[in-house]
């Protein structure tokens, strides 16, 4: 629940500068910086090729195979692993399949559900999953139209004041906030059977092309920070977030891996990008689809650490060729500087909307 107390906590935590233990990250970076660029390139490509060479065994995704022709699967070559699949609760037709997987990683601030973009016939399944798994936020990495092709139909009300009726749920649009290339929508999800309601945030990225890394690294890092400051633990439970792109493997997998790597580095734990991607792939098959997306994990982690600690930035500036090469292998982004996050506007809007939610919740409690 968003409350004024939480707003206060967010403001305080955003203004508080965190110290970083740099030893593990510096060791990881120094090992890369000591290599010739050709050797580093070969090593990174070799890591990704090893991941690609893992063969998916058909008996690991039996439920996916059963549902290939009933309108629940967007791409027939993107399997949904049985071992980690999300099961729909109380399905009307008795079929509990949704193309979604649980992903749990050490050091992460969230428990993730990675899924494909909802299809026209699975929107009600999507919102049922969001409700029953107590999802606090949805991260949408695919815009509606990509390369002049309709990739995704709006499964949420896109205009303020609109409602979307989907099965047993009503989705209400409370407010929309634009921040750089990030569109944040505050939604209220109502269970029509019980009249119970919950609030959640929907983050749609407008700058992340299909099969590629995002065009601006800073928007991704800012969004992660905004999410984490607004989704604090409740009753000592990690928040559950849904992450999807179109297929739910390339961009979505990259987002989840990066989120985990950032917290691994911040906690001064050993860094292995290949190990994190491998761990995610064991739970959501084929996550991180291309080498540029894989290289982007290296680049974005460097950007995060340079922004977080000025002394680390100084260390990395001594190895500019290495930093520049990793950037060139991963993204065409033109953002070469490392500006501070412009928090004032977006956070003041968030706090105002949180206050609205708090008042609505109090009003509802008084009625009951």
Q: Which tokens is 211 given?
A: 């099969």
Comparing CA positions, the residue from 80, 168, 78 lying closest to residue 132 is 168
pLDDT value for 211: 80
Position 137 confidence tier, pLDDT thresholds 50, 70, 90: very high
Q: Indicate if the pLDDT at residue 348 is higher than 60.
A: no
| In the chain, % of residues over pLDDT 90 | 61
Phi and psi at 181, nearest 5°, equal -100, 30
Average pLDDT over residues 20-44: 86
Cα 38 from Cα 325, distance rounded (Å):
10
Average pLDDT of the segment spanning 219-224? 90
- Alpha carbon distance 288, 282 (integer Å): 12
* pLDDT tens track for 283-299: 999 999 999 999 999 99
pLDDT (0 to 100) of residue 165: 96
Give the model's pLDDT for residue 306: 86
Asked whether residue 14 carries a pLDDT value surpassing 80, the answer given is no
Radius of gyration of the chain (CA): 21
Length of the chain: 368
pLDDT, one tens digit per residue, over 294-344 is 999 999 999 999 888 777 777 787 888 999 899 999 987 666 544 444 444
**DSSP states along 114-156:** EEPPPPTTTHHHHHHHHHHTTEEEEEE---SEETTEE-----S
pLDDT at residue 67, rounded to an integer: 98
- Distance of alpha carbon 355 from alpha carbon 348, whole angstroms: 11
Structural domains of the chain sorted by starting position, each given as residue range(s) with its CATH number in brackets: 23-145+174-361 (3.90.190.10)
Q: Which of 263, 130, 116, 115 is nearest to 201 (CA)?
A: 130
Among the residue ranges 98-102, 169-173, 312-316, the one predicted with the least confidence is 312-316
Cα separation, 336 vs 217, whole angstroms: 10
* Model pLDDT for residues 228-250, shown as the tens digit of each residue: 888 877 777 899 999 999 999 99
Neighbouring C-alpha atoms within 13 Å toward the C-beta of 86: 31
C-beta separation of 139 from 233 below 8 A: no
CA 310 to chain centre: 26
Q: Which residue has the higher pLDDT, 206 or 151?
A: 206
- pTM score of the predicted model: 0.86
Cβ 240 vs Cβ 135: under 8 Å: yes
Angle, helix 23-33 to helix 320-330, in steps of 10 degrees: 90
Query: What's the mean per-residue pLDDT of the chain?
Result: 84
Across-strand partners of 149? 146
Residues whose CB falls within 8 Å of the CB of residue 184, separated by 6 or more in sequence, listed in order: 176, 177, 178, 201, 202, 203, 204, 226, 346, 350
pLDDT of residue 215: 84
d(CA 253, CA 284): 8
The pLDDT of 193-209, averaged and rounded, is 93
């Amino acid at each position: 629940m968003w409350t004024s107390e939480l707003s206060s906590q967010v403001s305080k935590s955003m203004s508080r500068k965190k110290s970083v233990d740099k030893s593990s990250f510096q060791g990881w970076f120094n090992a890369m910086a000591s290599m010739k660029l050709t050797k580093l390139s070969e090593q990174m490509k070799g890591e990704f090729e090893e991941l690609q060479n893992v063969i998916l065994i058909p008996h690991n995704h039996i439920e996916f195979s059963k549902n290939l022709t009933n309108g629940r699967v967007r791409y027939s070559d993107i399997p949904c692993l049985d071992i980690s699949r999300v099961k729909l609760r109380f399905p009307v037709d008795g079929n509990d399949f949704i193309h979604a997987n649980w992903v749990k990683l050490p050091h992460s601030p969230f428990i993730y559900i990675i899924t494909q973009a909802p299809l026209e016939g699975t929107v009600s399944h999507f919102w049922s999953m969001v409700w029953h798994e107590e999802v606090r936020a949805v991260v949408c990495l695919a815009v509606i139209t990509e390369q002049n092709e309709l990739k995704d139909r709006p499964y949420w009300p896109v205009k303020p004041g609109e409602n979307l009726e989907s099965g047993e749920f009503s989705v209400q649009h409370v407010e929309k906030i634009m921040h750089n290339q990030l569109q944040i929508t505050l939604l209220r999800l109502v269970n029509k059977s019980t009249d119970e309601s919950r609030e959640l945030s929907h983050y749609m990225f407008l700058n992340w092309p299909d099969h590629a890394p995002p065009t601006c690294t800073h928007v991704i890092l800012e969004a992660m920070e905004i999410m984490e400051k607004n989704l604090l633990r409740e009753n000592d439970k990690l928040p559950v977030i849904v992450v999807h792109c179109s297929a739910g493997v390339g961009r979505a997998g990259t987002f989840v891996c990066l989120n985990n790597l950032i917290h691994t580095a911040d906690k001064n734990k050993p860094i292995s990008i290949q190990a994190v991607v491998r761990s995610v792939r064991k739970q959501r098959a084929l996550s991180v689809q291309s080498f540029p997306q894989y290289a982007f994990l290296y680049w974005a982690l460097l950007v995060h650490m340079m922004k977080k600690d000025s002394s680390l930035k100084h260390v990395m500036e001594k190895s500019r060729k290495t930093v520049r090469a990793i950037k060139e292998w991963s993204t065409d982004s033109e953002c070469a500087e490392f500006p501070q996050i412009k928090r004032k506007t977006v956070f003041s809007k968030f706090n105002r909307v949180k206050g609205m939610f708090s008042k609505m919740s109090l009003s509802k409690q008084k009625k009951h």
